[in-house]
Amino acid sequence: NAGVTQTPEFQVLKTGQSMTLQCAQDMNHEYMSWYRQDPGMGLRLIHYSVGAGITDQGEVPNGYNVSRSTTEDFPLRLLSAAPSQTSVYFCASSYDDTSYEQYFGPGTRLTVT
């Protein structure tokens, strides 16, 4: 199993550009989530999904969209990038929403200039 994979590893965007961060898992997990990690602030939940076709907002959803058309994939879209979205983004998955052990991907390091 590859576990949780994320692409790209690094990305530089200009203010106003849009892009999609890809996340996939091959563990047949129902629950998937996106976090951003900023210095001194831990991990903050952006959006999550408890299954295909179901998504919901986390703590910091503004400026991001998600969709979950399949169990495996959970892309994160930045609609119009802003410097405040410079961060490291992690995708995570777990068996379901009540299974607390989450498996994290390697992260995408995004810089918005």
Partner 1 sequence: GENVEQHPSTLSVQEGDSAVIKCTYSDSASNYFPWYKQELGKGPQLIIDIRSNVGEKKDQRIAVTLNKTAKHFSLHITETQPEDSAVYFCAATYSSASKIIFGSGTRLSIRP
- Indicate the residue among 85 and 107 with the shorter CB distance to partner 1: 107
- DSSP type of residue 18: -
- Indicate the residue among 12 and 80 with the shorter CB distance to partner 1: 12
Residue type for 39, please? P
Q: Which residues of 85-95 are buried (b: 16+ CB within 10 A; e: fewer)?
A: bbbebbbbbbe
- Indicate the residue among 12 and 41 with the shorter CB distance to partner 1: 41
Binding site for partner 1 (CB under 8 A): 4, 31, 33, 40-45, 48, 50, 56, 58, 90, 92, 94, 97-102, 104-107
Beta carbon of residue 63, minimum distance to partner 1 (angstroms, whole number): 19
User: Which residues face 22 on adjacent strands?
Assistant: 7
Beta carbon of residue 81, minimum distance to partner 1 (angstroms, whole number): 22
- Collapsing DSSP states into helix, strand and coil, what is residue 9? coil
